[in-house]
Structure 1
């Protein structure tokens, strides 16, 4: 046992001396001698006979001086803590493993180099947080990142395997300088396990030039095969309006010139061979494509640049914005005035023209004041008024763009958004100036033309999927049912027919599985005694079993028509749910056994593919310089970063 001896109080003993032979203590101030050397007696003597010295001694202690006995006591108490604080975690300790996995997840999601863990400042930081933690080497971190990636991938594969329907989203992006291109592939579905919609990044593949339809199609098919996604599960594929994307998902797309064979004899086919090849292509491309709604809306918005009088005002606005953004003096002045600055538009950024116009109108007074001080020309009163009309024209487009670019549950909002925009454009035609009204009229025609596949049931490319999503969302369908418009009622009729067909197909598939039962297991090696006993119990008549019909399964399930009628009746009543997803999740599985799964699958789908676009904007730093040459590391980092909260 360790014992700390009491140390002498130097501040007290500086006024006394001790004689070891006589065992007496003598005061140096007055010469008085007394037996022993107890510090308390010495202090009492100073207090009674030398009060000034005693007061100074007390003041020294109050200013921070501690008696030696207290220091010894504290050092004795901290011995155990000192030994414990320097003991490192064992390599298999839970605390060590948790911190190692956290570092691996952080580096894997951010795309930082694994050599970060060998940086001196990083090691010092971790030691200051926990002295017991040993920072692992880069090899171990690489292995932990790979393990985390594989675990995440296995989890998502399990969820995808139980999904009934999925929606594939794709987007192609090229780096500045055209040195590398990347294809982002995402998947949206209703997760049966978690009972909510999910949107996952499946892959980020580097694509070589040229970006032909065949190369895009092959990349998507490879990704689907890796994730075990069957074509029958794909409800639709959402892409932009690029010609290569459109051709990649056509049911019978002709081969590009780039991918044609150089052998002249290869193009000589008989008539039967040609038909057979065409049929194979149709079967191979058994996925429907849907254009990105937000991309298409932006094409309508860009019509403002084709109207001469409107474009003239916009060009003047752009020149003013350019002057401000190039002048640090003007920028500082407008910041001092209103705390905001002007913003420029960008052709590839959604709703950027509206944001430029709206910001300029918001800081109008400050812009005019600073422009006068700088000696710059500004807009006329009539031009400011026209700019105000343009803001009112573009505002609904910006609002619906924001709504429709959500990752999930936005397909059912396409029809209401389009009807709202058409109604808005019709109002603008009657309540604004002549040139803005003419622009609104052209935009209205352009909306009807570009979205004929959604709005016009008689169109050759009409798809009832969007109308079905709207029909299955009671929060919007309830209002449309009461609209006295023949086109809307025809769309709802087409949607109802589509839902019935899909539900019956799914129901027939389920009934077929019930009738056929599970696949027979391979015969196991059984003993002769067990086979003999089983044959003695039940004689086998192969002739009779040939003609024996399988009994129909008894079920109390309602038909699809009954489920549809019940749903329509509920639409005539007040709907308290905020979303269609919430409405169907609260339905009974027994009664709505066919309609509920289909509704959940369709309502989970997005209206556009900005999720695939955000892959590049979020992980764009990972592609700078030479870092994109590590293709697997880039794809892994993008996968972990986009799916980190799922």
Structure 2
């Protein structure tokens, strides 16, 4: 991490660095990212640290120069006494270092994982450094591109075995996306799960080179092949988060059909193996299965919330009400990007304009924000560049647009957190809606309506409702009907958990994957907190539904009407709360088991997007032909 590490504490389990000054968490421990945080957020401390670094470097250089002069003087006085056999020791300084072959090989592997080409392993300058070390180790091992390539693939295979063990017999969720770089299309697959330590983990399962059209059938065949590689039963999949592409939606539907068939077959085997008494103990009686037969076939898909939020903005723009203004804005921005105008901007030390891009999140907001900052420049040079002329009314509309889009920009940034839970999504969404109402412009009203429409779709998703219900922070945001939907889905999930935990032979465990391979408060200082408090009161005062004979359903119904726990703020996450409470009572243990599954459902596919950022780094113009197996191995290890 380097000396910049004095500002941070690194949490290895979460792969996050926590700033000791502001407590902000930063993914990983890359020096560049850490320096950027300190430089932008703690400027005075950064300058002090930087000056100290420079002073230390200058002192080190002076010491090295002084040492060299002393050594040269000593060598000159004794040169006459040297014999021919002592020439080598006079020319070369002998040093003793603690290192072994494994350390060297791992360093070479990390060079490749971090984007260096394999040809480096055969570079003469590199070997002038590495060969004397190998000679000193008295080893016959060779460091070359072929050997290190095999080492990378072997290490990736070991990582796959580790992931397979982590996921064995456990329900988890998937995130999928497709990316095209350098003429190559790849399918990125992430697994997301909550381990017994209460922390959420993301694992890269595959970065598959696609050789055919990206149809839903082809995507699902690749996914099933990947699951087979990890010995994963498709019934283990709780949720699949994708973008809104029709091929991805189709793939989820196909996958759901396979999961349904596998679960029905697995349940039939369980019924045959258990007596009636055993079935009652496990909550797996035949009547329980029959009542939920239809529920087993529901789609296990969830559409990326970050993409969905961008679609709400697109819905408003597509209405045509603001097309003329946006057209004028884009003409002005294009004029500002004219070479002659850019020169003038630089002379005045102003930022260059930004043009929006349909596929880039918040790009329209950023375009408007930058244009507003250049308003005086546009007014000054409108005579020379006509497209820069915008009326006072147009500028007022642009300002309204910017103010109205700000809550969505904030929400977009919040939704880009890798460990975002469904409850966090609903909280961010609700907070955004509340702020849009407070803005009170025509544009904010249109955005509010668009968000409400999309929110209704979100709340129809049983996975979303289930995950929010099991998040004690935000379950009060759900209506009575939505809680009932969630409970029904959680009962189904409980069945699957029991099926997966039941003892089965290894051949049965992976068989299915192998076969398929073929009105709102306005007075509170914090609108969201006031809304949550009101929702809690409504939930606790509502009539309780008639109790069901099934114990699990009764536990869930009782939990759904409870207020937020008083001690909830003592825990960093809702899952850590459930982990601490699971031993208190049997109901809490049941809720813990369910929360471990449903809270792992990904609200976005941001981690796959970041995986693709790494792909662009590895798949550089000079490495565009890298073999698929090596590319996948590098990315799997890079995002392990």
**TM-score by shorter chain over 0.5:** yes
**Residue in 2 that maps onto 1:172:** 178
* Alpha-carbon shift at residue 474 of structure 1 (Å): 2.4
**Residue in 1 that maps onto 2:285:** none
Q: Distance in 2 between matches of 1:217 and 1:118?
A: 40
Deviations 1:355-385 (A, max 9, x none): 1112222343345445567675332221121
Structure 1 residue 95 and structure 2 residue 92: aligned?
A: no
Greater relative contact order (Cα 8 A, min sep 6): structure 1 or 2? 2
**Residue in 2 that maps onto 1:264:** none
Q: Distance in 2 between matches of 1:286 and 1:307?
A: 33
Structure 1 residue 221 and structure 2 residue 224: aligned?
A: yes
Give secondary structure in 1 for the equivalent of 2:581. coil
Q: What TM-score, normalized to structure 1?
A: 0.65
Number of residue equivalences: 486
Give secondary structure in 2 for the equivalent of 1:320. helix
**Residue in 2 that maps onto 1:238:** 241
**Residue in 1 that maps onto 2:268:** none
**Residue in 1 that maps onto 2:126:** 122
Task: Label 1:252 to 1:83 Cα distance change in 2 as closer, same or farther (>3 A).
Answer: closer
Contact 1:169–1:609 (CA under 8 A) maintained in structure 2: yes
Structure 1 residue 108 and structure 2 residue 113: aligned?
A: yes
Deviations 1:513-559 (A, max 9, x none): 6xx9999xxxxxxxxxxxxxxxxxxxxxxxxxxxxxxxxxxxxxx97
**Residue in 2 that maps onto 1:432:** 441
Task: Label 1:65 to 1:411 Cα distance change in 2 as closer, same or farther (>3 A).
Answer: closer
Out of 334, 346, 356, the position equivalent to 1:322 is 334
Structure 1 residue 340 and structure 2 residue 351: aligned?
A: yes
* Alpha-carbon shift at residue 498 of structure 1 (Å): 3.9
1:10-159 alignment to 2 at 5 Å? 71-72=77-78, 82=89, 94-110=99-115, 112-124=116-128, 136-159=143-166
Q: Distance in 2 between matches of 1:69 and 1:509?
A: 74
Contact 1:188–1:605 (CA under 8 A) maintained in structure 2: yes
Out of 306, 310, 313, the position equivalent to 2:318 is 306
Q: Distance in 1 between matches of 2:326 and 2:600?
A: 39
Q: Distance in 2 between matches of 1:620 and 1:199?
A: 20
**Residue in 2 that maps onto 1:473:** 471
Please say which structure displays the higher CA radius of gyration.
1
Q: Distance in 2 between matches of 1:66 and 1:217?
A: 69
Deviations 1:272-330 (A, max 9, x none): xxxxxxxxxx9999862222222222122113432444221212221222222231x43
**Residue in 2 that maps onto 1:616:** 612
**Residue in 2 that maps onto 1:39:** none
1:204-603 alignment to 2 at 5 Å? 204-250=207-253, 288-327=300-339, 329-369=340-380, 377-428=388-439, 431-433=440-442, 436=443, 440-441=445-446, 443-455=447-459, 462-477=460-475, 480=476, 488-499=479-490, 502-503=493-494, 506=497, 561=554, 565=558, 569=562, 571=564, 573=566, 575-576=568-569, 577-589=571-583, 591=585, 592-603=588-599
Q: Distance in 2 between matches of 1:369 and 1:88?
A: 67
Contact 1:89–1:96 (CA under 8 A) maintained in structure 2: no
Out of 622, 629, 632, the position equivalent to 1:632 is 629
Contact 1:415–1:454 (CA under 8 A) maintained in structure 2: no
* Alpha-carbon shift at residue 235 of structure 1 (Å): 0.7
Task: Label 1:96 to 1:373 Cα distance change in 2 as closer, same or farther (>3 A).
Answer: farther
Task: Label 1:283 to 1:581 Cα distance change in 2 as closer, same or farther (>3 A).
Answer: closer
* Alpha-carbon shift at residue 639 of structure 1 (Å): 1.7
Give secondary structure in 1 for the equivalent of 2:190. strand
Structure 1 residue 605 and structure 2 residue 601: aligned?
A: yes
Deviations 1:336-368 (A, max 9, x none): 535532211111111111111122223433454
Task: Label 1:94 to 1:624 Cα distance change in 2 as closer, same or farther (>3 A).
Answer: closer
Give secondary structure in 1 for the equivalent of 2:633. helix
More helix by share: 2
Q: Distance in 2 between matches of 1:237 and 1:588?
A: 27
Q: Distance in 1 between matches of 2:431 and 2:71?
A: 80
Contact 2:256–2:299 (CA under 8 A) maintained in structure 1: no
Q: Distance in 2 between matches of 1:400 and 1:146?
A: 40
Q: Distance in 2 between matches of 1:131 and 1:340?
A: 55
